[in-house]
Amino acid sequence: MQDQHLHVPAPCFKYAAAHHTFDNAESVATSMSGLEIAPPKPEQRTTTMSDLRKLIEMVEADYFEVQVMEKAIPLRQWGNFIAAYHGSLDAARALHDALVPGWTFDITNGSAFVCDVAKATPQYSGQCRVHAAAWLIAILKAYEARQ
């Protein structure tokens, strides 16, 4: 077996490893031992409105693509985004505090609302049967408005 060097955006070695087939845990450890992680190039980290809008529409349709998420939200928030998408209210709270700090939120019966009371911004809402995902949608809409 040749020594493989994967060049992926940090800290996503799990994402890169998902694209390879390993026979057992030992072969994973052997392959991962020589892993080189390269930071994303600056041109890959530019957020555009279309990326964020696309991500919002995907989450509202109950799916998302990693490549779109990587362009739409800050690198340090990828883990919180994924965990919130899968139902973690703690991760949704951390994402809320990072993307729309100081904004107020409310979660009720599958709906979530986010607004900046101090600046009298409109309410941004999200609806989903999973409360954290509803909050995630509202956060993304508010974050889009802040851009």
Query: pLDDT by residue (tens digit) across 17-72?
Result: 333 333 443 433 344 444 444 444 544 445 556 899 999 999 999 999 999 999 99
| Whether pLDDT at 127 is above 60 | yes
Read off the amino acid at residue 120.
Answer: A
Q: What is the pTM of this model?
A: 0.67
Higher pLDDT, 100 or 147: 100
Mean pLDDT of 60-88: 95
| Whether pLDDT at 76 is above 60 | yes
| Whether pLDDT at 146 is above 60 | yes
Distance CA 103, CA 67 (A): 28
| First vs last C-alpha separation in the chain | 48
Q: Indicate the domain borders of the chain.
A: 7-39, 45-146
| Whether pLDDT at 137 is above 70 | yes
Picking from 25, 17, 23, the residue whose alpha carbon sits closest to that of residue 1 is 23
